[in-house]
Amino acid sequence: MKRISIIDAKDYVGQTVEIGAWVANKRSSGKIAFLQLRDGTAYFQGVVVKNEVGEEIFETAKGLTQETSVIITGEIREDSRSHFGYEIGISNVEVVGESHEYPITPKEHGTDFLMDHRHLWLRSSKQHAIMLIRNEVIRATYEFFNNNGFIKVDPPILTGSAPEGTTELFETNYFDQKAYLSQSGQLYMEAAAMAFGKVFSFGPTFRAEKSKTRRHLIEFWMIEPEMAFMHQEESLVVQEQYVAFLVQNVLEHCDYALDVLERDKELLKKYTQLPFPRITYDDAIELLIKNGFDDIKWGDDFGSPHETFIANSFEKPVFILNYPKAIKPFYMKPHPTRDDVVICADLIAPEGYGEIIGGSERETDYDQLLVQIKKFGLSEEEYSWYLDLRKYGSVPHSGFGLGLERAITWISGIEHIREAIPFPRLLNRIYP
């Protein structure tokens, strides 16, 4: 007999097939039992009728408990009443693994309880939907960069340098040397861009940030493109095309997941329309002050209420350009006519989801870069390889980093970033 996945049921209407699944839920009366079946590809209903299967199989079906694993045999039928559109008329049920007192029941549970049971919570329909969107964002990322002539390059995870500042580092022993978990692959991606032109990375990054917010993870995944012979204006175009492509592909391929999450698709469609608005840091500060924010002045970094207010002034993601030099990393290229700001941009997502991209044009001049390295208290010796890139055929180059989980949180429309990654590492949590 043919073993199929639930998602493929539409191709087997009228045929008898076998499905390996878990029982997500069950309702039964004296003569009929309805099994809510889950196999990781989709959910659908299985119907067991006592008169059709006989006493023994019906009793087995009636006794199934939540999360019991089963092999179901039956005929696929159309089911116009369900969202999925198909069901299975069951002729046999074989129990594979029993499940007793499954801790996550259909009733409401507190967040801590669910986080303690993350290994099981992942089986729920909402978490499944979020992971489908995560999968699509990753798939579309590779498609976008492959379509646009980028080469995927993998920077190291264990490093000797700290590109995004030295306070948020995870330190570890590298034999008799100190090493850090990567905060960003950028510096290595700059080397790769000088070797291969247009490159992108996709990998885990680590920040020992003491922030307990709904936007921060300790371990998160970042996509970092880096482009040789490219100024910031062109990089912004790549960024908005990339983000619009992600949203477009989720709309095209994740209809079911967006329905489960009750995401407003009309809103998402707006985010695919280019260009995205651009506002300078100066103008953003002025906008905030004009609207009664008295807790911010020129030179400060934005907090989450500031970013949310700025985002709400636009209908689409918005680029904030040219931040003060003093609050940005050492490698950013200074503005050509002003020495207090750098050529950079953050992309702020709508609806209060905050910064999803940070990027900039990079300093290309050897001497200027060395001054910056010293000013930031970094070691000239440790960064000599990075300085080399300015010694041998230095070119204008720009790049950016998109926080995968920030993007997923926003596109999914969920409350908290912890649900955008299978096993979140948070300030007070490294379990399970």
Please enumerate, as own/partner, the contacts of 106-113 that have beta carbons within 8 Å and a separation of 24 or more.
106/25
The single-letter code of the amino acid at 236 is L
CA distance readout (Å), 226 to 2, 137, 179, 188, 189 = 47, 19, 24, 10, 6
- Interface with ligand 4AD, residue 400, by CB under 6 A: yes
- Interface with ligand 4AD, residue 75, by CB under 6 A: no
- Interface with ligand 4AD, residue 403, by CB under 6 A: yes
Peptide bond into 396 cis (omega under 30): no
Least distance (Å) between residue 215 CB and ligand 4AD: 6
Please enumerate, as own/partner, the contacts of 142-146 that have beta carbons within 8 Å and a separation of 24 or more.
142/202, 143/245, 143/249, 144/241, 144/242, 144/245, 144/246, 145/200, 145/225, 145/242
| Contact residue for ligand 4AD among 26, 38, 207, 333 (CB under 6 A) | 207
- Interface with ligand 4AD, residue 137, by CB under 6 A: no
- Two structure tokens written together for 76: 């696929």
| Contact residue for Mg ion among 317, 358, 359, 399 (CB under 5 A) | 358
Listed in sequence order, the DSSP H helices in 148-264 are: 186-196, 232-253, 255-260
CB-nearer residue toward Mg ion: 67 or 226: 226
CB-nearer residue toward ligand 4AD: 57 or 247: 247
CB-nearer residue toward Mg ion: 50 or 216: 216
DSSP SS3 for 36: strand
Q: Which does 235 bind (CB under 5 to 8 A by kind): Mg ion, ligand 4AD, none?
A: none
Establish how many alpha carbons lie within 13 A of residue 326's alpha carbon, considering only the half-sphere containing its beta carbon: 5
Least distance (Å) between residue 290 CB and Mg ion: 25
- Interface with ligand 4AD, residue 356, by CB under 6 A: yes
Site mask, ligand 4AD, residues 212-251, x = CB under 6 A? ----xx--x-x-x---------------------------
CB-nearer residue toward ligand 4AD: 223 or 251: 223
- Interface with ligand 4AD, residue 198, by CB under 6 A: no
CA distance readout (Å), 336 to 75, 176, 340 = 70, 44, 10
Least distance (Å) between residue 116 CB and ligand 4AD: 21
- Interface with ligand 4AD, residue 190, by CB under 6 A: no
By beta carbon distance, the residue nearest Mg ion is: 358
Binding site for Mg ion (CB under 5 A): 358
